[in-house]
Amino acid sequence: MHELETDYLVVGAGASGMAFVDSLLSHSTAEVVLVDRRHRPGGHWLDAYPFVRLHQPSANYGVNSRPLGTNRIDNAGPNAAQRWLPSGAMDPDIWIENIPYNETRAYVQRILWHSVVFAWLRTGKAQDAHQWLGAVSP
């Protein structure tokens, strides 16, 4: 049996394993051993698409060895709306119109519109969206 000494042992040569190793090698002098049950990098893609050969898996997965995060506040994600909450109670129509991102504001408006339309189609009665929306508050 042959022994290996390494700084990092990475099990799995799929997207995550390759991205981690790529980042380590690009930004440190660490020694890395990468093991996988398959005969070459690519992870589950080798099973799903055996005719595809990934010459540079990390580049093909869109990983560019960049640091995670940008030291700025997220414009999207689960915490973004926390910044948009008013200091006091506010009518939901006004709050929606003041969402600072056009795409997000349009998405919320479309969801609300579709909800009203589908409820009308289901019940045959005109719908009032205010029944579903309470005041927006901090």
| pTM listed for this prediction | 0.42
pLDDT of 89 reads: 86
**pLDDT averaged over every residue in the chain:** 76
Q: What is the pLDDT of residue 53?
A: 59
Output the pLDDT for position 54: 55
Residues of the chain with pLDDT under 50: 55-62, 65-69
CA dist 86 → 61, 73, 78, 92, 137 (Å): 40, 18, 17, 10, 6
- Would you state the pLDDT for residue 51? 66
pLDDT value at position 77? 65
Distance CA 32, CA 55 (A): 19
Task: Read off φ and ψ for residue 5, nearest 5 degrees.
Answer: -115, 135
